[in-house]
Structure 1
Amino acid sequence: MSRLIDLSVPVLDGPSEATPVEVSVLDHKSAPAALGLRPEDFPEGEAISNETVTLTTHTGTHMDAPLHYGLRSGESPAAAIDEIPLDWCFAPGIRLDLRHIPPGVGITAADIEDALAKVPVELEPGNVVLLWTGADRLWGTEAYRTDHPGMTRESTAYLVERGVNVIGIDAWGFDRPFASMLGDYRENQDNRVLWPAHLYGREKPYCQLEKLANLDALPEAAGFTVACFPVKLAGLGAGWTRVVAIVDEA
C-alpha cells in the first residue's frame, strides 16, 4: 500500500502571494449564451463552465527552471521548464530538518551537512531534497513572504555538486527574503548578496521547488518518492507544479 501526501499550497489570491491572482468565471447558467445557445437547450438549463485565470508562473507551488536564473547555465543555453528531464521529477526524496534556522538567515553548507547526518540514508545523485523550515505554517498571512530563512550559493552548490537536480523549500522563496538581501546590498554594495542561490544555477543547472507545504506530514526523513512534474509551459522559466510524496506503507 502507498499513501499520497500533498506537498503543495493552493493557487489563490491572498496575502501570501506577492502578485494578484485574477479569476473570471463563466458559470453554468451564463455559458449557453456564450455558446450561442439558450438555457433550455441543455439539461437543467446549465451548460459547461469555464474559468480564465491571470497569474504569474511563480504563483502557488511551482518549479523554477535554469532559464529563470539566467540565459545560460554552465556552457549551454539554460533549459526552459518544458525541457526539464522527466526523471528529475520522480525520484527518492530526502527531507532535511532546518527548522532551527531563524527567518532572514542564510542556510550554510555546514547546516546542510549537519542535517544530512541525521537522515538514515546516504544522499545519492538524483535525490529530490526537501528543505523543512516550517515557514509554511505562515501560509495565508503576509508574514509568509518575509519570515523564512533561505539558501546560499554555498549550500546550493553543496547539494547540486553531489548530483541533486531538484531542491525544494517550504517557504515563499528559495533565497533569503528580499528585504534581507536588499538590506545587505544597501549596506555594502556587494551584489553577490542578491539571489546567490538562484544565480548559482548559471554555473550548473538545477531546479527549485518553492512554496512547498506539509513536510511535517512525512512520517520519516527518507523512504518516500517525490513526484513533481511541472506544467509544460513552452520556453518559460517556471511552471506550476503539484508536488506529491508517495510513501510506501507495505
Structure 2
Amino acid sequence: MPKIVDLSVAIEEELKDPLPFSIRYETHEEGAEFGAKLVGVTPEDFPERKGLAGEFLTITSHAGTHVDAPWHYWPTSEGKPSRTVDELPLEWFFNDGVVLDFSDKPAGYAITVGDLQEKLQEIDYHLKPFDIVMIRCDADKKRYELNYSEVHAGVSAEATLWLIEQGIKVMGTDGWGWDTPLSIQANDYKQNPRSGVLWAAHFVGKEKEYCQIEKLANLKQLPNFGFKVSVFPVKIKGGSAGWTRAVAIID
C-alpha cells in the first residue's frame, strides 16, 4: 500500500488567518428541527429526537489550503481571458511532486532564480514539465500564532517566471502566501513607491498562465522527489480559487 501524507491545513476558526471566515456547527438536535420542517414531520419522529449534524460556513475560497486560478491574478493571461478554477485542465493537478527546502531562510526572504537552481542542483533533480513544485519554509508550524501570515519566505516574481518557463503549471508553498509577506511588500513600497513590488509574483500570471497552492502543510514529511501529488481544486463556477485536500502519495 502506498503511504499517503496529508499536505493540507484544516479550515478551522483557530487558524490565525487574517482572511475572515466562520463556522457554525449544527447539532443533531438542530438537525432534527431542520429535517422536520423539510419533510413535514416533527422532531420527535426522529430517533431520540436526533437528526443529521451539519455545518454552515461563511468563507472565502482562499481560506485553508487552496489552489489559486489565473483569474485571481488578473482579468487576462497571455493575452486571453484568464481561466477560472472550474476551467482548468485536471491533468495539471495530479503529477510528480518536488519539495525545495528553504526552511533556513528568514521570514520575508524573497527566493531567487539562483536559489531555485542551487537547490535543484543540491538534490540532483532536473525539473520536467507539469511537476508540482512545493516550497518548504515550515510556516505551517506557526499557523496558530497571530503572525502566521508574516512568517514565510516568499518567491520572487523572477523565480516564479523561471519555474513557469521550465514547464511548471502548479507550484505551492506552506506559507500563508506565495509572495513575501504583504506587510514587507507594503513597507518596501512606502519607502520607494514603484511598480513590481506589491503582489509581484502573483502578477506574473498576467503574462504567463499558472496556478499556485497556498497554505500547504507537512512538507517536512516528504522526500525531495519520487512521489505523486494530488491537489484537485473544488469546482467553483467562475471561482478565483478552490479549496483542495492536498495529499502526497509515496509508493
TM-score in terms of structure 2 length: 0.95
Q: Which amino acid aligns with 1:8?
A: S
Does residue 207 of structure 1 match 2:211? Answer: yes
Does residue 101 of structure 1 match 2:93? Answer: no
Which of 130, 136, 154 is matched with 1:132 structurally? 136
Deviation at 1:42, TM superposition (A): 1.4
SS in 2 for 1:95: strand
Deviation at 1:15, TM superposition (A): 5.1
Distance 1:155 1:242 in 2: 26
SS in 2 for 1:192: coil
Q: Deviations over 1:9-45 (max 9, x none)?
A: 0101135211232122332112222232323311232
* Aligned pairs for 1:200-239 within 5 A: 200-218=204-222, 220-239=223-242
Q: Deviations over 1:161-190 (max 9, x none)?
A: 110000000100100001100011011111
Does residue 145 of structure 1 match 2:149? Answer: yes
Report the RMSD for the aligned CA atoms in angstroms.
1.2
Distance 1:15 1:90 in 2: 27
SS in 1 for 2:147: helix
Q: Which amino acid aligns with 2:21?
A: V
Distance 1:124 1:171 in 2: 24
* Equivalent residues of 1:120, 1:221 under 8 A apart: no
* Equivalent residues of 2:12, 2:23 under 8 A apart: no
* Equivalent residues of 1:120, 1:222 under 8 A apart: no
Q: Which amino acid aligns with 1:52?
A: F
Distance 1:94 1:39 in 2: 52
* Equivalent residues of 1:104, 1:147 under 8 A apart: yes
Distance 1:170 1:50 in 2: 29
Deviation at 1:208, TM superposition (A): 0.3
Distance 2:53 2:117 in 1: 51
* Equivalent residues of 2:29, 2:50 under 8 A apart: yes
SS in 2 for 1:48: coil
Distance 2:46 2:109 in 1: 58
Please identify, of 144-153 and 164-173, the stretch whose mean Cα deviation from structure 2 is larger.
144-153
Match of 1:88 in 2: 92
Q: Which amino acid aligns with 2:110?
A: G
Distance 2:138 2:53 in 1: 38
Tell me, which stretches of 5 or more residues in structure 2 are unaligned? Answer: none
Match of 2:55 in 1: 51
Q: Which amino acid aligns with 2:167?
A: G
Q: Percent identity?
A: 40
Tell me, which stretches of 5 or more residues in structure 1 are unaligned? Answer: none
* Aligned pairs for 1:34-45 within 5 A: 34=34, 35-36=36-37, 37-45=41-49
SS in 2 for 1:118: helix
* Equivalent residues of 2:177, 2:215 under 8 A apart: yes
SS in 1 for 2:115: helix
Q: Deviations over 1:38-87 (max 9, x none)?
A: 23311232111222100111100000000000000012111101111101
Match of 2:244 in 1: 241
Q: Deviations over 1:88-133 (max 9, x none)?
A: 0000001111122211121101011111112243210010001011
TM-score in terms of structure 1 length: 0.95
* Equivalent residues of 1:171, 1:211 under 8 A apart: yes
Match of 2:126 in 1: 122
